[in-house]
Amino acid sequence: MEQIKTLQGILEAVKSRKEKKIVSVAYGQDLHTLQAVERGVKEGVLNAVIFADKDEVKKVCGENGIDTSLFEVVNVSEEKEAVRQAVRFVREKKADFIMKGLCSTANYMRGILNKEEGLLPPDAVLSHATVIESPYYHKLLMVSDVAVIPAPDVGIKEKMINYDVKIAHALGIEMPKVAIIAAVETVSEKMQATVDAAILSKMNDRGQIKNCFVDGPLALDLAVSKESVEIKKVRSSVAGDADILIFPNIESANAFYKTTTKLGGAEIGAVVTGAIVPAVLTSRGDSEASKLYSLSLAALIAER
């Protein structure tokens, strides 16, 4: 498989498939969710089943020219019940991935995390993977975790790497390069991020983390800039050409993500990983393009 290097490439890869994936939409009765689903169906990315108040869906669609014949609506008037039914629809293997609608993020996550009826396998964790297309980088760049895990320890970072590597493989990257980000590239016991990075690198060396190259600690400039690598004379199989960035905490990852999109002209697609299916978690602040790319990414990596 040829490596996908743009978000549009993800969209085109999904459109080229004969069978369209099905998304289960939890409480999808708000304008931004319905618009995203409509566009996804029209673009040939997916088919959709929406669990929501049918009258409200008709009202919103009617006021905004959205074609309700493009998707199925299962009438559920209460938010938590809509989430429960959307999750159950996935568990019954009637849908390939799930998407948050008007429901609160807390209720959406509780539905996925429910021990009896949810979507999280034993020993798994939910993590957010953001795929970034920047005009200043030569390929797609994946980042974790900008939205879900506040302060991952070394064990959770290992899981984050494994989730992101699977996405990278779906993008056609045979051996993705994983940079463990810290403020510096030297190990210091006073900076836990550097210690974690050294441990993860050694785990990769010894085959505990497979199917990728892992290096760290790496400062951000070393991870993505070949010029910085040459200036600092760093020897690394990852530096200057990273496919995946693992950040030390949610503050640094979120700041990076928002800087690249708000000031750097980047576009993104994102999914929550770790559950038995991808989970789409868009917000009203996301661009129309990013919502479509997120749905496309989820459809690309979803497995029935």
Phi/psi region, residue 52 (left: phi>0; alpha: psi -120 to 50; beta: rest), is beta
Q: Give tens-digit pLDDT for 15-51.
A: 999 899 999 999 999 999 999 999 999 999 999 999 9
Residue 293 has pLDDT above 60, yes or no: yes
Report the C-alpha gap between 260 and 71 in whole angstroms: 34
Tell which residue, 246, 257, 128, 255, has the closest CA to residue 193: 246
Domain extents in the chain = 7-123+275-301, 127-262
Question: Residue 304's pLDDT band (boundaries 50, 70, 90)?
Answer: low
Q: Which residues of 105-118 are buried (b: 16+ CB within 10 A; e: fewer)?
A: eebbbbbbeeeeeb
Expressed in percent and rounded to 5, the helix, strand and coil fractions of the chain are 40, 20, 40
Q: In the prediction, which pLDDT does 285 show?
A: 73
| One fold for 7-123+275-301 and 127-262 | no
CATH number, domain 7-123+275-301? 3.40.50.10950
pTM, two decimals, is 0.94
Is 127-262 assigned to CATH 3.40.718.10?
A: yes
Q: In the prediction, which pLDDT does 66 show?
A: 96
